[in-house]
Each structure stands twice: as C-alpha cells, then as structure tokens.
Amino acid sequence: MPPPVVKLSPECSVQGIRTFNREFSKGVESFTGIRYGEAERFERPKLAELWEGTRIANQRSKCCPQEFEFLENQYAPIQIVDDESNSDENCLELNIWRPSKIKESEKLPVVVWSCCNHYRHGSANVFNGDIFCCVNRVILVTFSFRLGLFGLAASEDGVLEGNYILLDQITALRWVQKYISNFGGDPNNVTFYGASSASSMVSCLLTSKLCRGLFHKVICESASALATSSRATPRKFASEMHFFILRKEGYKGSRNGNEIKQFLKSKSTDYLKVLLYSFLSVTTVIDGYVLEEDPVDVYDKGLFLKLPMLCGCVADEGYTFSQFALHNSNVKSDSHFVDLIRRAIRLYCYLFLSKEMGEKITKLVADKYRPEIQTHENFFKAIMEIYGNIYILSNVLKLARYHSEHNTTYLCELHHRPDYFEGPEFVSMVHSKDLAFKFGVPFSKKYGDLKWSDDDKEISLRLMKKHGEFIETGEISDWQKFTTKTKHTEIISLKSKTKLASVFKDDNYEFFNETIPNIVKEDKPIENFCLEEGMKTYMVASYVTFLGFDTSNNNY
C-alpha cells in the first residue's frame, strides 16, 4: 500500500507514514515536522508559506532550545526523543496523526495539544499520537513554539512584546483552521488541550479576542490562568525582571526596548536559553495586544470565551512542587515548614507584596495547616496540601466555577498509583505523570522498557476514551456535569469511589480564593511597589530555593 499523501494546495503535498497496531487492529497515519509558521528572533510569527511539490513528513518536529534535562525530569521515566540535535529557534513545526481509511466525506474532530512546563520546556514530540488515534476516531495535532526568553522577552515600551509564546500558539491554531480539512479534519470542531503551564495559557487565551473562532472546546488540566502563581504579569514588572537579569549578566545599556533587543539579537542561542534562570517564576505578559487586560479581570467580568470545558487534576498535585522545594529531603522543623510556605507566597504567588504583608499571609497559612503531631511525614503532607492548593487545585476549581455558569463543564481528578512509581505509599498520581496515560503510553513500545500493569492499561484506556468522547461531542455521556450547585467531581480510579475523598475542598477553596485575596487588598497599591528592591528580594529567595538552602532564620 502506498504511503499517505495529503494535498495542501494543487501544487503542494505532504507524504506521511502509515503504521498498524496489532493490539488494537487499527492503522494510523502520521505527518510530522510540518512547518506552520516563520518567526525571526523576538518578532511576531506569520503563517508559513507553502512549497511546490511533495515533502516527506516523517521527521520529528523542531523544538525550542531549552535545558533538556528539565524536560526529561518532567516526564520521567518515559524517554524523551528531543535533544540538542533537533532544537532550533525557528521551531514552528507541528505533527499530525489521524486514523487510516478516512472517507472523503468524513470530517473528524480535531484536538490540538499544547505541551509546556514552567513556560520553558516542551515540544511537539513528547507524546506520539498513534495509540490515541487507534482508540479515538479523531485527528491529533501537536506543535512546538518558542519558550523561555525566546517566547517571553518583554520591554516596558513594548518593543519586546512579551507574548511570542502565545502568538506562536495562535499561529498554529490559524494553520489548523486553514489546512486541517485537507487531512479529513473538521475546522469547526477543534478542541484546544493543555496541561500544566500549557493549561494556564489555554485558559489565558480564552480571554483574547485574537482567538475567537479558532477553537470550540477546551481541556485544561493541572493549572489555570487564575492562579496567583501563573497569573499574567504586568508589562512593567516583566520588563523590569528581564532588565534586572540583563544587568546581572553584563548588559550596560538603558531600558530602551530597541537597545535591549539589539543586545539580545547579538547573543548566541545557548546564552539566551538559560538567561531566564531556572528558579525564576515567569508567565505571560499583559501586553495590550494578545492580552488587552489581566485575564483574571476578564474572567471576573464574564468576558471570556464561554466554551465547553473539561478540566481536572491529579490526586497529589503538591508532591512534585514539594519535592522541588525540598530536594528530596525532609521538612526539618517548624521554622523550616514556615520558610517553605514563605517561599511559595513570595516567589510564585504574590510577587508584589510588601514584606509585612508577606509575613502576615505566611503566618496565616502556617497556622491553618500546621500539623498537630509534628513529624517529618505530617509536615510533608501539610506542605503537599498547601502547594497543591496554592498552585493548582484552588484555581482549577475556580476556572470550573466560572465556565459552569455559561456552558457544559466537567471536573475530574485522577487517583491512580502507577506501577513504576516509587514514592511514599500515601502518594498516588503526581503532577504531569497522568499525561502518559492520556496518550496511551502503557500500550506503546516507543518510550523505553517500562513495565506497565494491567491496571495501568485499564486506566489509560478509560482516560483516552473519555477524552475522546469530549473531543468529539463536547459531552461525556456517563459523567455528571459540574455546576456551582452540585459541585460534582468525577473521581477516576480503579478503587471504590466511596473510599476516596475529592481533593477539591470548599474550605481550601475559600481560604485561597477569598480569605487571602481579601487580606492582600489591604496592602499598599502595586504602583508603590519598589521593583528594584523587590527584584533583589525575589532573586535571593529564588536562589536559595533552587539550591535547597535552609533559610529558616532569614526573613526575606
């Protein structure tokens, strides 16, 4: 049988490859490494021009230069195919998978997967779509985009816009609208799917006028734009952070955007990919173009795109963040416990607080969650709960509440301990490790020699089918919808649901979404925040967190 060929225009074609999966007795066709956009360094992207003739589309997509060790750790123990050999600043390429034997009259549902962690790491190639498209008769698109400083560089005057990371994703969605019908996809039935930082950006783009008509359903998992830790940053603060770093790295010029841009354009890729220090918290920017105003304010006003939504989390979101802060160590003492809370508050959640307000909020959180019996394990469980709520749970629940007022919304949580996982017995599924199950990795031999149990495969199959049903119809037939009245959460587990309590708790929601924000309002206005002094505090706190120092005797 000849390889699959798709015409993008009368003069332009792509040739893919066809594979057959014996376990599912189905064929899948893939087209990888297709260029969807072009972008020079720190410039807006544009749709890629088509070519003449037929191109072979069987190579992995380019990915943005990054520190691949972090990407590997994020998805370990599955093997990552990306490395320096396929990294390139001009990385705007995508991959497409579809079921074999698509009829000419068919228009299949489309899901566009955005892969990003920490706004610095990600690639179109992390997950292969073969298994997902065996289980679901849908078309899966994955794509690479600019990350780190390449995607976020900002100057106060707007010469450096700060949202190239979002503009690239919008360009990929525009390409899908223009060409996916040639592959048998329905451009009027597109689901935009993101997890972790990508979920924050998907929910962020729901507030952008540039995205109207580009997608019709969303899947947001394990983060949202409503989190204090991933909230879009005012341009003034983002630009000052970048300027502060540049000064530390030898830049002698002014804050003028053209001057900074010229300096950055003169530097090597290797220099730029590590310039936004790994321990710095970075997010998208309120630029007045992609994000005309703070997405949180847009949600408050009810002006976001009101689309069907599937959102959720895993049982132990806080575990990964706790391990990062503790460097696989223990919470040593009550003062160490308080310090871990202080770092989360000052580094990732409330960057503009005065020192006095920062201490007030730190004490409030510590007093609420301090365990009665102070053992290492109990302290660790408390930090897990705090980090899980402050980074993920409280804002995902808030996102579900907003959307449920206007359209179909499902809220789910995954309780399953992978067979390979060697963490504490009281921990099951942790941040980002669920994605392997949602893309069918337990059924694939392309990710190394991991041994997957029958339970792992059963959970994986269930997740793929439920996601596929939502992608196709915007509904999940045997799930109850989430509303502010029912507050129903679908618990996904092989255990009896009667034995599992939801991780979404009203008390935690009110504490992190109402109590703390109301107290923070008492602080001095953000206009009075000293950026220079704040950056010094922020850098010191970030540095000690990244290196794992115990700073329990220091109030930064």
Give 10's pLDDT tier (boundaries 50, 70, 90): very high
Residues 6+ apart with CB under 8 A from 128: 97, 439, 444, 446
Q: Is the pTM of this model over 0.85?
A: yes
Q: Label each residue of 484-536 as H, E or C.
A: CCCCCCEEECCCCHHHCCCCCCHHHHHHHHHHHHHHHCCCCCHHHCCHHHHHH
* Token reading at 229: 């830790």
Give 445's pLDDT tier (boundaries 50, 70, 90): confident
Give all strands of the β-sheet with 139-143 in edge-to-edge order.
17-21, 26-35, 93-99, 139-143, 108-114, 185-195, 217-221, 309-314, 409-414, 490-492
Whether 196 is catalytic is yes
Q: Quick one: what percent of the chain has pLDDT higher than 70?
A: 93
| Rg, the chain, Cα only | 23
> In the chain, where are the structural domains located?
1-307
- Amino acid 117: pLDDT: 94
Contact (CB, 8 A) for 221 and 312: yes
Q: 318-326 and 376-388 helices cross at what angle (nearest 10)? A: 120
When comparing pLDDT for 8 and 540, which is higher?
8
- Amino acid 496: pLDDT: 75
105-119 pLDDT tens trace: 899 999 999 999 999
485-499 pLDDT tens trace: 999 999 999 987 667
Mean pLDDT of 303-311: 98
Q: What is the CATH architecture assignment of 1-307?
A: 3-Layer(aba) Sandwich (3.40)
Contact (CB, 8 A) for 378 and 307: no
The residue type at 42: F
Residues 6+ apart with CB under 8 A from 541: 342, 343, 346, 347, 551, 556
Q: Which residue has the tokens 């990306």?
A: 82
- Amino acid 546: pLDDT: 45
Mean pLDDT of 41-65: 98
Mean pLDDT of 117-136: 97
Mean pLDDT of 235-246: 90
**Distance of alpha carbon 482 from alpha carbon 479, whole angstroms:** 9
**Distance of alpha carbon 147 from alpha carbon 66, whole angstroms:** 8
**Distance of alpha carbon 150 from alpha carbon 261, whole angstroms:** 11
pLDDT at 541 over 90: no
When comparing pLDDT for 165 and 545, which is higher?
165
When comparing pLDDT for 556 and 338, which is higher?
338
Q: Quick one: what percent of the chain has pLDDT higher than 90?
A: 81
On average, the pLDDT of the chain sits at 93
Q: Which of 17-21, 500-504, 549-553 has the lowest mean pLDDT?
A: 549-553
Q: Which of 73-77, 197-201, 211-215 has the lowest mean pLDDT?
A: 73-77
Task: DSSP letter for 333, please.
Answer: S
* Length in residues, the chain: 556
- Amino acid 526: pLDDT: 62
pLDDT at 479 over 50: yes
pLDDT at 128 over 60: yes
347-392 pLDDT tens trace: 778 877 888 899 999 999 999 999 999 999 999 999 999 999 999 9
DSSP notation for 344-383 = IIIIII-TT--HHHHHHHHHHHHHHH--SS--HHHHHHHH
The catalytic position among 196, 200, 222, 428 is 196
Give 549's pLDDT tier (boundaries 50, 70, 90): very low
**Distance of alpha carbon 96 from alpha carbon 128, whole angstroms:** 10
